[in-house]
Amino acid sequence: MALEDSKQIQNTGSPDINATNRIKCNQCQNYSLVLDVLSSEYVCSSCGCVSTEKIYNNEIPYFEKGEYKDKSRLGMPESLTISHKGLSTLIGLNDTDGRGKMLDPAQKETIQRLRTWNNRSQLNDSISRNLDKALKYLNNFGDKLYLSPAVMENAAYIYRKAAIKKLAKGRSTVSLVAASIYAACREISIPKTISDISTVCNIPSKEIMSHYKLILKELSLKIPVIQGIDYVTLISNRLRLAEKTKREALRIFSLVQHSRISIGKNPRAFAGAIIYIASQECNEFLRQVEVCQVADISTVSLRKRCKEIKFILDSQQ
């Protein structure tokens, strides 16, 4: 009966029977090993000894630590976008032991108490509770803005620094999250405007800018200046212009970029004027109001930049 049961367990529990039969038990020297799928360990069905041989599930990636020699850590990688960085302790909701047997009522009560204290210990101070709430907002806004994981990690890092300095105390969490996202985009030179983030976060642009200035002042961030060519590509794609018009706009930008007319001026207005002039030269109908709405500028700024750019182009011809 024991041999029949072990064969039945082996056929149902092990995905590869031949691979299991090739491994010998170190204690009794038998080939009657059973694979425990949950712990990824081989157990001898004769003597109960756990083998030192382990099998890793290829569907679950493992992440090396140290100098890529110790492959003992399994699970998701560390991430700053999660409040516990992906290293928290989780107690399952199924009241069963390692063999799948239901726990006794007294053990269930103990495990439930452990779950309660486990949840309390993870959010035991105000900074942890604020991070748990803020990072949920950050992941939600990042998905809506189609931001890359690198930008999300940088935004979470900026918000964590702000939370440690207690900048979130007495201020709007959503506004500080939006300001952190904008600062992260500016650091990695991603052309996201304040209006883009304001629309997604449903917050006034003035409030985001005030929190952004506070972050720059308190954290001493070094924000690079976004080049106008990034805005040229961004505005052209949002206006769905033809490829010919995009290439003409880039050509005009290359001709004008060496002049000093762009110093101290809004790069969005500069890029919008270049796109408007390129659309006229390529005979593509484009209204000034459309360019101003997409670039988030006024029509007065657009006309002034157009006059300056046309003057530079005429002087070079």
Tens of pLDDT along 166-179?
898 889 999 999 99
CA neighbor of 145 nearest in space, from 109, 177, 173: 177
Q: Is the pLDDT of residue 113 over 80?
A: yes
Q: Helix (H, G, I), strand (E, B), or coil: what is residue 224?
A: coil
Confidence (pLDDT) at 19: 44
What gap in Å lies between CA 34 and CA 203, rounded to an integer? 58
The predicted-structure confidence for 196-231, as pLDDT tens digits, reads as follows 899 999 999 999 999 999 999 999 888 877 677 888
Q: Over range 261-265, report the average pLDDT.
A: 75
pLDDT-based confidence at 4, cuts 50/70/90?
Answer: very low
Does residue 104 sit within a domain?
no
Does residue 112 sit within a domain?
no
Q: Over range 108-114, report the average pLDDT.
A: 88
Among 170, 190, 219, the domain boundary falls at: 219
What gap in Å lies between CA 294 and CA 279, rounded to an integer? 15
Virtual CA dihedral for 143, 185, 170, 140, nearest 10 degrees? 0
Confidence (pLDDT) at 117: 83
Of the two residues 179 and 267, the one the predictor is more confident about is 179
Does residue 265 sit within a domain?
yes
What gap in Å lies between CA 35 and CA 192, rounded to an integer? 52
Q: Is the pLDDT of residue 156 over 90?
A: yes
Say how many CA atoms lie within 13 Å of 112 toward its Cβ.
Answer: 8
Confidence (pLDDT) at 210: 93
Confidence (pLDDT) at 17: 42
Among 236-240, 259-263, 267-271, the least confident range? 259-263
Residues 197 and 242 in one domain: no
Q: DSSP alpha helices (H): ranges in the chain? A: 2-13, 17-21, 105-122, 126-144, 149-164, 173-187, 194-201, 205-219, 228-239, 243-256, 267-281, 288-295, 299-316
Q: Is the pLDDT of residue 37 over 80?
A: no
Q: Is the pLDDT of residue 152 over 60?
A: yes
Does residue 120 sit within a domain?
no
Residues 133 and 208 in one domain: yes
For residue 43, the cross-strand partners are 34, 50
Confidence (pLDDT) at 40: 63
pLDDT more than 70, % of the chain: 80
The predicted-structure confidence for 62-71, as pLDDT tens digits, reads as follows 444 444 444 4
Among 219, 248, 280, the domain boundary falls at: 219
Among 219, 244, 266, the domain boundary falls at: 219
Give the count of domains, the chain.
Answer: 3
Of the two residues 88 and 235, the one the predictor is more confident about is 235
Confidence (pLDDT) at 128: 82
CATH number at residue 18: 2.20.25
What gap in Å lies between CA 17 and CA 32, rounded to an integer? 11
Confidence (pLDDT) at 70: 47
The pairing of strands 41-44 and 50-54 is antiparallel
Q: Is the pLDDT of residue 76 over 70?
A: no
Domain containing residue 202: 126-219
Q: Note if the pTM is more than 0.85.
A: no
Does residue 241 sit within a domain?
yes
pLDDT-based confidence at 313, cuts 50/70/90?
Answer: confident
Q: Are 216 and 202 in contact (CB under 8 A)?
A: no
Q: Which residue is listed with tokens 């924000």? A: 223
